[in-house]
Structure 1
Amino acid sequence: MIQVIASCQNKIIKHCKSLQTKKYRDSTNEFLIEGIKLLKEAIESNVKLTALLYHNEAAKDRDVQSIIKMCMEKNIVIYELHEKPYMDISETKTPQGVIGIGKKIDYNVNKLLRSNRFNIIIMEQVQDPGNVGTIIRTADAFGFDMVFLSKGCADVYSGKVIRSTMGSIFHIPIITDVSLESLLKKFIDLEVYTIAATPHTGLSCYDIEYGDRNAIIIGNESKGLSSNIMDMVKIKANIPMVGMAESLNAGIAAAIMMYEATRYKLKHR
């Protein structure tokens, strides 16, 4: 049964508004998924949806009808919203008329790290949502196995990050609020080849000989990697540049590093 909501004071509208804050997302383990493509990706990736909300005018759209049908088949609670309550919770400039409430995915890190071969990308305090989303999307594109984010990174479950991943957030395990010191200590025992991306020092990224288990670490946009992390990695690597720019955007640097790791893997498989 579809419930109709006409008021912004409805409790589900207030719940959605609260989900726009990290604190509430963390306390409820839920997040918002807005847009046709992202919702389809979430449903097809078996993300658990607790509710679907759609604008009453959007019900005329075939894609929205398809999403409503899929949610009905899964017995997901569905709400039809009037203009004001829908616009009150929408976070996009050009709303597509459909929003889902999803449950965060809980990954078993120890199980993921048991694999004999993997490529991992790690972010230390990467704070720009666009950079975080781009790095996740690129990791997905280049077949990386996991993404780790330290405390202080942009929240992967914020609307901006989710939209910039273009659905990749649902394709690859993402572990957040990680203590990188503890993780790198574990990597020593697991014989993971840890590579710190640096602006100018270290080995050229084109000369790295990757192992079976690799972890590339990208630092904060302005400060780079912290000294304690730099002291714990096996090698430091840079991206050779011939122009006048002093450095690359964190998302671009991560993309080049990940591409090189994937290219090496394809060449030596």
Structure 2
Amino acid sequence: MNTPRPTTGRVKEVTSLTNPIVKDIRLLEKKRHRDETGTFLAEGMKLIIDALDNGWTIRTLVYSKAGKGNDSVEKLAARCLAGGADILIVSEKVLGAIARRDNPQMVMGVFEQRWSRPDAIRPEDGDVWVALDRIRDPGNLGTIIRTVDAVGAKGVVLIGQTTDPFATETVRATMGSIFAVPLARMEENAFVGFAGMWPGMVAGTHLKGAVDYRKPDYASGPVLLVMGNEQAGLTDALAGACNVLIRIPQAGRADSLNLAIATGVSLFEIRRSALTLGEDELGEDEKA
């Protein structure tokens, strides 16, 4: 039986790297430990405030002793403490060891992971979701999550064995968008069935795509944009699950784009197409 969390957390000062709480937090560098605990580490006051504002659950707030007396840090600590989080006040040495880099942010937080159930995804007209097939690079994934947030898309579906969206490098690359973009995960077979039930366009980028990415009518319903693995692209099964295969024309010697850039180019074209249609549907009085 799970032990209920206390209604208010505890405050502790730590200077030793051998402290068991510090050792446990440092283990969050490893995916296995993140999976076992269902938690991950995020860095920076703005990210933590954004996460709390979006309803994410913080387990532990860690901040440097240099933050004691800082009004913003103290207010954040009080908010987390009242919500049941533990507060760990640590030395600069301990903070650097947890962050695993020089000059870390003054504040870090251990959060509970959050996943969306695939059966809870109910797309409506104008919605855009991105599906990523076996994405390997954490920087690419973080950048795509940030771009999805920037264009107002609804979420990301991870297909098969992908890099962990809650890895520290990925979280950093999202610049806080990890807390704003719903994430779901599926195996390939399940995704093929999911795509088959999609009530709008399922567009996959493919080097052999017959359609210029600027040509489809993306505003005709919800769009599911499917992007392939960095090296191999889409599998045959996933390409077959798309009802249109698009390509981004190349003018130079390079025959492909970085995955995050290709996703961004495609997403902004989908967004532009939808905005253009919205303007076309306005009456002259409304445009004025």
Range class of TM-score, shorter chain: over 0.9
3-state SS of paired residue (1:144):
coil
Task: Give the TM-score taking structure 2 as reference length.
Answer: 0.87
Looking at structure 1, the residues matched to 103 and 206 of structure 2 have their Cα atoms a distance apart, in angstroms, of 38
1:229 is matched with: 238
Q: Does residue 213 of structure 2 align to residue 205 of structure 1?
A: yes
Give the direction of change, closer, same or farther, for the CA distance of 1:61–1:268 in structure 2 (3 Å limit). Answer: same
Aligned mate of 2:162, from 142, 153, 158: 153
Residue deviations 1:101-139 (CA, integer Å, cap 9, x gap) = 100113233222254552110111111111101111111
1:51 is matched with: 60
Amino acid of the residue matched to residue 203 of structure 2?
Answer: I
1:126 is matched with: 135
Structure whose CA Rg is larger: 2
- Structure 1 position 166, deviation (Å): 0.7
* Larger CA deviation: 74-83 vs 120-129: 74-83
Identity %: 26
Amino acid of the residue matched to residue 136 of structure 1?
Answer: I
1:29 is matched with: 38
1:67 is matched with: 76
Aligned mate of 1:85, from 86, 90, 94: 94
3-state SS of paired residue (1:217):
strand
Task: Give the TM-score taking structure 1 as reference length.
Answer: 0.92
- Structure 1 position 60, deviation (Å): 4.8
Q: What is the Cα-based RMSD across aligned positions, in Å?
A: 1.8
3-state SS of paired residue (1:94):
coil
Give structure 2 stretches of 5+ with no counterpart.
Answer: 1-9, 279-288
Aligned mate of 1:247, from 248, 256, 264: 256
Contact 2:144–2:264, Cα closer than 8 Å, also in 1: yes
Residue deviations 1:166-217 (CA, integer Å, cap 9, x gap) = 11111111113x2133122123133342111123532000001123121111
Contact 2:117–2:184, Cα closer than 8 Å, also in 1: no
* Larger CA deviation: 25-34 vs 53-62: 53-62
Looking at structure 2, the residues matched to 108 and 66 of structure 1 have their Cα atoms a distance apart, in angstroms, of 34
Contact 2:151–2:267, Cα closer than 8 Å, also in 1: yes
Residue deviations 1:202-251 (CA, integer Å, cap 9, x gap) = 20000011231211111111111112211221111001222222211100
